[in-house]
Amino acid sequence: MSGGYDDRDGKIWMDGTLVDWRDAKVHILTHALHYASSVFEGERCYNGTIFRGRDHSERLKRSASLIDFEIPYTLDQIDAAKAAVLEANGLTDAYVRAVAWRGAGPDMGVASARNPVRMAVAAWEWGAYYGDAKTRGARLDMSKWKRPSPETIPCEAKAAGLYMICTMSKHAAEAKGCSDALMLDYRGYVAEATGANVFFVKDGEVHTPLPDCFLNGLTRQTVLTMLAEKGVAVHERHILPEEMEGFQQCWLTGTAAEVTPVGRIGDYSFEVGALALDIAENYESLVRR
């Protein structure tokens, strides 16, 4: 599939109906465009099956609730919409994007309780998020922006507005030749990359930030289960940035990132080591069962 994301062949599910890709449009006064009243999910389909698809649907509904609206579709209907999009586009290996938002309606201010809630699902072929980093190790910048306090944002929601500082951080990182950026939290602890969780290895044990102010990713949860099954000790805790000097390996997890080893974060270097490669390989086998 080529061309801009607004100019492609195919079908998108929108408000209960499959429409031509180029016709999937919203009005310029859509509330979400002005006030970020939108939530979304990024999912991957492998060999015709969306990995943890139901969990993604549940999180989409929960995210909407956390930012004060209700998606007018059941979990079964959301799952069916994703299946319909994949079938209509002839895709068996794809990235799936489900998004729900407050649309245009009688309200055009901060409050928008009377505006309709809309939903869409699109899918497209998408390769490795970080290119060849799975073998060479991704290079990350250190972001100047921090993940906010949970007293200021609904940090458990996968909400569009929470990604503004992620976009700025990734743009700054790419300008330096990096793949992504690592963000600290409001207290100065290591948090996450712009769209992925982070894991470190020291002396055969794994250390990963406690997700108390950022999203506890589904891929992160899957990898924690894999590590437990392997008998690897895992420490979920607050990690100071200077501790990275003592870590030997590092990897990122996320639906788009999958499991991607990291070779460098700012001034800190890591080997693309055996455990990182093993988890990446095992994850690939798990999602393609």
Q: What is the pLDDT of residues 47-105, one digit of tens each?
A: 999 999 999 999 999 999 999 999 999 999 999 999 999 999 999 999 999 999 999 99
CB distance 216 to 177 below 8 Å: no
Q: Are 239 and 200 in contact (CB under 8 A)?
A: yes
Beta strands at 268-269 and 38-46: parallel, antiparallel or unpaired: unpaired
In the DSSP assignment, the letter for residue 109 is S
127 has pLDDT over 90: no
CATH numbers and ranges of domains, the chain: 11-124 (3.30.470.10), 133-287 (3.20.10.10)
- Confidence at 135, pLDDT banded by 50, 70, 90: confident
Q: Give the pLDDT score at 134.
A: 75
The alpha carbons of the chain give a radius of gyration, in whole angstroms, of: 19
pTM recorded for the entire structure? 0.95
**Residues 82/97, Cβ–Cβ less than 8 Å:** no
User: What DSSP character marks residue 64?
Assistant: H
pLDDT in tens, 164-219: 999 999 999 999 999 999 999 999 999 999 999 999 999 999 999 999 999 999 99
* Cα(8)–Cα(21) distance, integer angstroms: 6
Q: How confident is the model at residue 2 (pLDDT cuts 50, 70, 90)?
A: low
Known catalytic residues are 158
Contact predicate 195/204, CB 8 Å: no
Contacts for 257 with CB less than 8 Å, ≥ 6 apart: 129, 130, 193, 195, 196, 219
Q: Are 118 and 69 in contact (CB under 8 A)?
A: no
Chain position carrying tokens 């909400």: 159
Ramachandran region, residue 197 (left: φ > 0; alpha: ψ -120 to 50; beta: rest): beta
- Looking at residue 189, its pLDDT comes to 98
Residue 172 has a pLDDT of 98
